[in-house]
Amino acid sequence: MVIGCQGKGPKSLVRGKVTLEGQPVAGQIVIIGSDNKEKSAPLAMGQYSIENPPSGEVTIVVKGLGPGMSLGGKLEGIKTKEKGAPAGAAASPDMGVEPPAKYGKKEGGIKKTIKGSGVEVMDIELTR
């Protein structure tokens, strides 16, 4: 008999990097399922990680921070060049570049397919 600790971790995880012309993007990534349910995460140095995202055909929206905005929320597990920067620190060139506005709405979003189990790496290259 094997006795062990069975934690309840995420069923699936999508992680990756969002870049624009090779530069990391700062802002927020939102994954929208066909049922319009959303899961989002901050982008710091272009990196993101989303537990239990919608699966199947999805739309990915990438929103910039905009003037006076900050990353806010948790940045756990995301490495930034600004060591020790507090959560909610304003975006800086070290945290990434703003994404083009066309990616900030569902209509301009990127269509992808997510399996919905295990870990998927989904790197996204934006264009101007």
Tokens 């062990």: give the residue. 4
Task: Please name which of 34, 31, 38 lies closest in space to residue 16, comparing C-alpha atoms.
Answer: 31
Place of tokens 């020790």: 84
> Which amino acid makes up residue 102?
K
pLDDT tens track for 20-46: 999 999 999 999 999 999 999 999 899
CA distances from 64 to 10, 34, 95, 120, 121 (A): 27, 23, 12, 24, 22
pLDDT tens track for 93-111: 567 899 999 999 999 999 9
Q: What length is written for the chain?
A: 128
Q: Tell me 82's DSSP state.
A: S
Dig out the tokens for 9 from the structure: 């971790």
Domains recognised in the chain with CATH numbers: 12-66+94-126 (2.60.40.1120)
Mean pLDDT, to the nearest integer, of 64-86?
48
Spatial CA neighbour of 38 closest among 57, 53, 20, 25: 53
